[in-house]
Amino acid sequence: MNPGREQAILLKMSAPRTLWHLMLYALLDERRPSAFEVRFEVPLSKEPQRADFLLLRRTKEGDVSDARVLRRLWGLIREQALVEYKSVSASLEPGDLTKLLGYGAQYASLNRDRLKHKQDLLLVLLVPSMTPTLKDELSFLDAKLGRAKAGYAPIEGLCFPAYAVFVDEVALVERDRLVGMFGHGTSLEGTDRWWWIHHLWNREGVMANVNPEDMEGYDELTAKFLASLPVELRLKGLAPKDRLKGLAPKDRLKGLAPEDRFEGLTPKDRLKGLAPEDRFEGLATDELRAMLEELRRRLNEPE
């Protein structure tokens, strides 16, 4: 069966985990080196247990210099790699690294005819950055991180070769703002911005058989995209009252000069809420005398 058609059938049969995973699949699949193919949510057993991504080498000695995403990763893969991705919101939890190790064992047991040696299967943990939970996971497994290079750190001490890939650092070193959005990044420009728009809101490609708005992660992905836009673009088309929606009164006034805060208010409205003594705060002595004279005049006027 055609790999693309096979993947489309798999996506139609099973709901992807989150929209984050589907978007990352689109990025990996489009920008992988030609020597590889990327499969999404690969079954690891007869039960509904799935790895996030399987990276398969198509040719034995294929060149990977044409990779346009996670550029250092592909050269580390001898034959295949299982990738587990943890986002900022759905972060690494206790047991997740152990689970990835279990995925590797299950996948290897199901594919012994395709894997000649355990070195042919690489386990990859893709996370935004180092966390205390990851340190605890490494300690639990008596494993440790080797020397990291540009965001790629070997995990030493496991029964399979493994790497921790830190998205934030990779995005910085490889100058890839798009992949950085899958970590803590919030900056998109030019073609990267259009890539995000196309894949999040167009019902094509990997989005053809799903409704992104119904998936976990949609609001977060949309909010992150909006955060990447210049302030002027975010506010464009909004009525003045809508621009302030959700802000506390004190936040609405931030940045305004004192005189601008009262713009449009009548003198009576400007004094509302002030104690009598506070209404005279800041007035010069001669101004106070003039006010007292005016008050006396009004009090002496016949009703």
Q: Which of 232, 258, 275 is the last residue of a domain?
A: 232
What pLDDT is stored for residue 63 in this prediction?
85
pLDDT tens digits, one per residue of 51-81: 899 999 988 777 899 999 999 999 999 999 9
In this prediction, residue 136 has a pLDDT band, given cuts at 50, 70 and 90, of: very high
**Averaged pLDDT for residues 193-205:** 85
- In tens, the pLDDT along 80-105 reads 999 999 999 889 999 999 999 999 99
**Mean of per-residue pLDDT scores for the chain:** 84
pLDDT of residue 247: 66
Run of H or E including 164: strand 162-166
Asked if residue 127 and residue 85 are part of one domain, the reply reads yes
Q: Note whether 106 and 45 are within 8 A (CB).
A: yes
Residue 42's pLDDT is 82
Residue 93 lies in a domain: yes
User: pLDDT value at position 303?
Assistant: 57
Task: Evaluate if residue 287 carries a pLDDT over 80.
Answer: no
Does 201 lie in the same domain as 284? Answer: no
Which of 180, 206, 232 corresponds to the end of one domain? 232
pLDDT of 300 strictly over 50? yes
Residues 192 and 261 in one domain: no
Q: Does residue 130 lie within any of the structural domains? A: yes
Parallel, antiparallel or unpaired: strands 50-57 and 80-85? antiparallel
What distance in Å separates the CA atoms of residue 6 and residue 190, rounded to the nearest whole number? 33
In 3-151 the beta strands, taken as DSSP E runs, fall at: 36-43, 50-57, 80-85, 121-127, 144-145
Confidence band, pLDDT 50/70/90 cuts, at residue 4: low
Query: Which pTM value belongs to this model?
Result: 0.70
What pLDDT digit, counting tens, does each position of 113-127 carry? Answer: 889 999 999 999 999
Average confidence (pLDDT) over 286-302: 78
Strand order in the sheet with 144-145: 36-43, 50-57, 80-85, 121-127, 162-166, 152-156, 144-145
Residue 49 belongs to domain with CATH number: 3.40.91
Q: Is the pLDDT of residue 8 over 60?
A: no
50 in the same domain as 127: yes
Do 274 and 228 reside in the same domain of the chain? no
Query: How many domains are there within the chain?
Result: 2
In-domain check, residue 84? yes
* Pair 226, 296 in one domain: no
Same domain, 209 and 60: yes
50 and 99 co-located in one domain: yes
Q: 227 and 256 share a domain? A: no
Asked if residue 238 is part of any domain, the answer here is no
* Model confidence band, residue 268 (pLDDT cutoffs 50, 70, 90): confident
Structural domain containing residue 60: 3-232
